[in-house]
Structure 1
Amino acid sequence: MVIDIRTRRAGKERDPAIPDGPDPLLRTVYGEILRDERLDQDRTLDDVARAVGMSKQYLSEVERGRKEPSSEMLHSVCDALGLPIEHLLTRAVRRITASRRIATRGSAGTPRVQLLAA
């Protein structure tokens, strides 16, 4: 719930930090994790795509969650990043679990309330 203290009324404004609707697609979560890992290593799309043997356009689509890579392709990208596949899976579970918690409760386990001030 959002309470706007300027008008003292509850509203239904959406907080962009809280997911709206169903859980994110698994391909979206995988893509975010792969992109984060690549950027943490200061590597380019081109560098990783060449190491895997795919186009950088395809890798970009995977990172943005627009393409659903095969398990073999995920394994190849993970290998190129030095990221064990089980770490990708574990991190995906953590992100989905965290997004569910945030969507239903605040960090202290209480209903989430946001105050807006002028």
Structure 2
Amino acid sequence: MADVVQLRPDREPEPEREPEPLWREALGGYLRRAREERGGRLVDVAERAGISPQYLSEIERGRKEPSSEMIAAVGGALGVRLDDLLIGVASAVRRGAPSVRRPTGPVLMAA
């Protein structure tokens, strides 16, 4: 017999919260801010990282889920240590990453 889940009407419903940012969105925002703070052009950072400018742009916009090797390459191209990058992204997630823009309309999901 399956377990029965009891609803607790005496509990207050939790207030609605903004959805948490995805890791790739927070990472992308952090990398873009780091590049802009250093005055780096997207094409120059991409070249130093050994990736295409288009791919770096997609990472920065939170569209791609880069591998750990890609994250290390972009961080190295920016002169950002991995521990600083992780702390920076974690802080952005904790703050709710206000610079991360979520789509407001329908989203096409590929299978």
Please give the TM-score of this superposition, normalised by the length of structure 2: 0.69
> Hey, what does 2:75 align to over in structure 1?
78
- Please show how residues 17-28 of structure 1 align to structure 2 within 5 Å: 21-28=18-25
- Please show how residues 99-114 of structure 1 align to structure 2 within 5 Å: 99=96
Name the count of aligned residue pairs: 81
Identity level (%): 44
Q: Which amino acid aligns with 2:51?
A: M
User: Which structure 2 segments of 5+ residues have no match?
Assistant: 1-16, 98-111
> Hey, what does 2:66 align to over in structure 1?
69
- Please show how residues 49-68 of structure 1 align to structure 2 within 5 Å: 49-68=46-65
Q: Which amino acid aligns with 2:78?
A: L
User: Which structure 1 segments of 5+ residues have no match?
Assistant: 1-19, 101-118
Two-structure CA RMSD over aligned residues (Å) = 1.4
Choose between structure 1 and 2: higher strand proportion: 1
Q: Which amino acid aligns with 2:19?
A: P
CA apart distance, 1:63: 0.2
Runs of 4+ in 1 over 4 A off after TM superposition: none
Please give the TM-score of this superposition, normalised by the length of structure 1: 0.65
Query: Using CA pairs below 8 Å that are at least 6 residues apart, which structure has the higher relative contact order?
Result: 1
- Using the alignment, how far apart are the partners of 1:47 and 1:77 within structure 2? 11
- Please show how residues 2-17 of structure 1 align to structure 2 within 5 Å: none
> Hey, what does 1:47 align to over in structure 2?
44
C-alpha deviations, 1:17-66, integer Å up to 9, x for none?
Answer: xxx64200000000000000000111111000100111000000000000
Q: Which amino acid aligns with 1:22?
A: P
